[in-house]
């Protein structure tokens, strides 16, 4: 249940209700909104577009300020945002990494500010923390956020089809992080050594099946790798639980 406009500041997370539910409820009751959010994913746009259709029927408009930091936002994100007629999108310059949501309810404003980008994982599942503050009980944060958003709006540029065409030409997917593996010789522990000896004996006897039962943390994954190395098959299939 949404707290009244006179509710004190509170922490919003994905524990009891997710952050998207809080943002959606604010959208459906506001007169306008301005967001500054660095990262946006396409999987959050369908539910957002449904809400924006409802707001359009009531003449409600909004603004999103986003950017191109780390090339995270795909061109498709901007293309979909351009389709929303009652939404203004502006592009911030430089390493833009802000996450703030401001809703204007006429007599009061609500600020939601914290760690959550406009991505499905951030708004539905991740361990994210946001502070929700209504101006009728504490006007400091909403007022500061409004001033920061106004300044950011003046320093940003509008999203246009021309801008998007240029972005599509230069955009490349962000590089995946390289996993640096420490190179060291893996020596079987006591359980693994005993199991490997028994497995080798089974193979020599002509057995085609074996079952290893061992407690959690004793090293079954390494054991499997060591066993495959000893057996040296031309190919093998390794099945694991998800």
In this structure, what CATH number is given to the domain that contains residue 124? 3.30.870.10
**Residue 194 CA to its chain's centroid (Å):** 44
Residue 178 lies in a domain: no
Q: Is residue 32 over pLDDT 90? A: yes
Using an 8 Å Cβ cutoff, are 99 and 114 in contact?
A: yes
Q: Does 205 fall in a domain?
A: yes
Q: Is residue 103 part of a domain?
A: yes
Give yes or no: residues 201 and 165 share one domain: no
Q: Are both 47 and 157 inside the same structural domain?
A: yes
How many angstroms separate the CA atoms of 212 and 5, rounded?
61
Same domain? 147 vs 224: no
Q: Would 182 be classed as within a structural domain?
A: no
Residues 48, 131 share a domain: yes
Dihedrals φ, ψ of 67, to 5°? -160, -165
Q: Which domain holds residue 199?
A: 190-231
Q: How much is the pLDDT for 6?
A: 58
Q: How far apart are CA 139 and CA 136, in angstroms?
A: 6
- Specify whether 155 is located in the same domain as 108: yes
Residues 54 and 166 reside in one and the same domain? yes
Cα 100 from Cα 38, distance rounded (Å):
9
CB-based contact 111:101 (threshold 8 Å):
yes
Question: Does 185 map to a domain?
Answer: no
Name the pTM for this structure: 0.72
Residue 18 is predicted with a pLDDT of 93
For residue 242, the model assigns a pLDDT of: 54
Give the confidence band of 216 by pLDDT, cuts at 50, 70, 90. confident
Residue 163 within any structural domain of the chain = yes
Return the higher-pLDDT residue of 75 and 235.
Answer: 75
For residue 3, what pLDDT is reported? 47
State how far the Cα of 104 lies from the Cα of 84, in Å rounded to an integer: 20
**Of 18-22, 48-52, 205-209, minimum mean pLDDT range:** 205-209
Residues 155 and 216 in one domain: no
Residue 242 lies in a domain: no
pLDDT at 1: 42
> Around 172, how many Cα atoms within 13 Å sit in the side-chain half-sphere?
3
**SS3 category, 27:** helix
β pairing state of 87-91 and 32-37: unpaired
**Domain termination residue (choose one: 170, 198, 222):** 170
- Which H or E element spans position 227? helix 220-231
The answer as to whether 197 is a domain residue is: yes
Of 83, 99, 105, nearest to 33 (Cα)? 105
Q: What band does 118 get if pLDDT is binned at 50, 70 and 90?
A: very high
Residues 157 and 57 in one domain: yes
Q: Are residues 154 and 208 in the same domain?
A: no
Domain count, the chain: 2
Asked if 44 and 122 touch (Cβ cutoff 8 Å), the reply is no
How far apart are the C-alpha atoms of 165 and 142, rounded to whole Å?
Answer: 35
pLDDT band at 138 (very low <50, low <70, confident <90, very high): confident
């Amino acid at each position: 249940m949404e707290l009244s406009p006179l509710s004190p500041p509170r922490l919003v997370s994905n524990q009891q209700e997710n952050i998207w539910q809080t943002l959606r409820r604010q959208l459906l009751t506001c007169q306008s909104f301005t967001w500054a959010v660095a990262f946006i994913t396409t999987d959050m746009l369908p539910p957002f577009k449904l809400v924006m259709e409802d707001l359009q029927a009531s003449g409600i408009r909004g603004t999103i300020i986003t950017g191109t930091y780390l090339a995270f936002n795909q061109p498709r994100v901007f293309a979909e945002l351009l389709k929303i007629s009652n939404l203004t999108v502006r592009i911030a310059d430089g390493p833009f990494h802000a996450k703030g949501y401001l809703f204007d309810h006429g007599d009061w404003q609500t600020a939601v500010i914290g760690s959550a980008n406009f991505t499905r994982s951030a708004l539905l599942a991740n361990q994210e923390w946001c502070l929700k503050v209504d101006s009728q009980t504490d006007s400091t944060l909403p007022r500061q956020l409004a001033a920061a958003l106004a300044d950011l709006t003046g320093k940003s540029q509008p999203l246009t089809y021309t801008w998007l065409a240029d972005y599509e030409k230069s955009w490349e997917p962000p590089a995946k992080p390289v996993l640096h593996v420490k190179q060291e010789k893996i020596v079987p522990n006591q359980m693994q050594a005993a199991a490997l000896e028994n497995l080798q004996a089974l193979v020599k006897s002509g057995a085609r099946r074996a079952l290893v039962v061992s407690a959690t943390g004793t090293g079954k994954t390494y054991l499997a790798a060591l066993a495959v190395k000893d057996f040296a098959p031309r190919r093998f299939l390794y099945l694991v639980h998800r």
